[in-house]
Chain A
Amino acid sequence: GAVVSQHPSWVICKSGTSVKIECRSLDFQATTMFWYRQFPKQSLMLMATSNEGSKATYEQGVEKDKFLINHASLTLSTLTVTSAHPEDSSFYICSALGGETQYFGPGTRLLVL
């Protein structure tokens, strides 16, 4: 139980395009999901907290107009990287809160050319 999926697992896009990443809780409902970014050999950096049916809460320094988050259902949250640039290339990981435990997705590797 408590499985979280992400799609796609990796994506390559051209600079200036937008990329959508999906995060799904497969066998439980999650009113709260989280989006993280991870740079090589570093810990996870929280980008935003996504709450079903309400606006996401962004961490300081994260541009909400660039990283659009939508949590339209209890099992799905999406992160859209708008007008992506090479510096947005990273590993993006989502998690879903089940009770007091966060369950993580497998991550999405984004490469912007």
Chain B
Amino acid sequence: AQSVTQPDIHITVSEGASLELRCNYSYGATPYLFWYVQSPGQGLQLLLKYFSGDTLVQGIKGFEAEFKRSQSSFNLRKPSVHWSDAAEYFCAVYSGNTPLVFGKGTRLSVIA
């Protein structure tokens, strides 16, 4: 069965600092990989996705993620965090045959 692990429940970074949110997945083949962001009381917004091809994908709001098959990882990065990036971030995988499988989320706090 597919699974997604986000090891960090809560991360705090200073505004302007770089950010990396970790995501590891378990799946027999290469799944479709996603990162979503959720602000309080809101739905989920798609940041970026990886299906195939270039393993470094660019998303909205200056985010990028790198797929590393050898590590079964799809970590999300941003070079300089803004206060408006404070939110909950979810990594998810989709195989095409089963519903989206989410990680438990990482809450990002941004301090001045």
Interface residues of A (CB under 8 A from B): 2, 4, 6, 34, 41-44, 46, 49, 91, 93, 95, 100-107, 109
Contacts and interface: CB of A to CB of B under 8 A. Distances in A.
Given A42-B105, A104-B36, 5 more contacts: A2-B46, A6-B43, A44-B44, A104-B46, A106-B42
20 contacts: A4-B43, A6-B43, A41-B107, A43-B90, A43-B102, A43-B104, A43-B105, A91-B41, A93-B44, A95-B44, A95-B100, A101-B49, A102-B94, A102-B100, A103-B46, A104-B36, A104-B44, A106-B42, A107-B41, A109-B41
Nearest to A6: B43
B43 A105 contact: yes
A101 B43 contact: no
Interface residues of B, number: 21
Contacts of B105: 42-43
B77 to A, nearest CB: 21
A6 B43 CA distance: 10
B28 interface: no
A29 B46 CA distance: 18
Contacts of A101: 32, 34, 46, 49
A106 B96 contact: no
A34 B100 contact: yes
B32 A93 contact: no
A34 B41 contact: no
B99 interface: yes
Interface in B6-43: 32, 34, 36, 41-43
B83 interface: no
A88 to B, nearest CB: 18
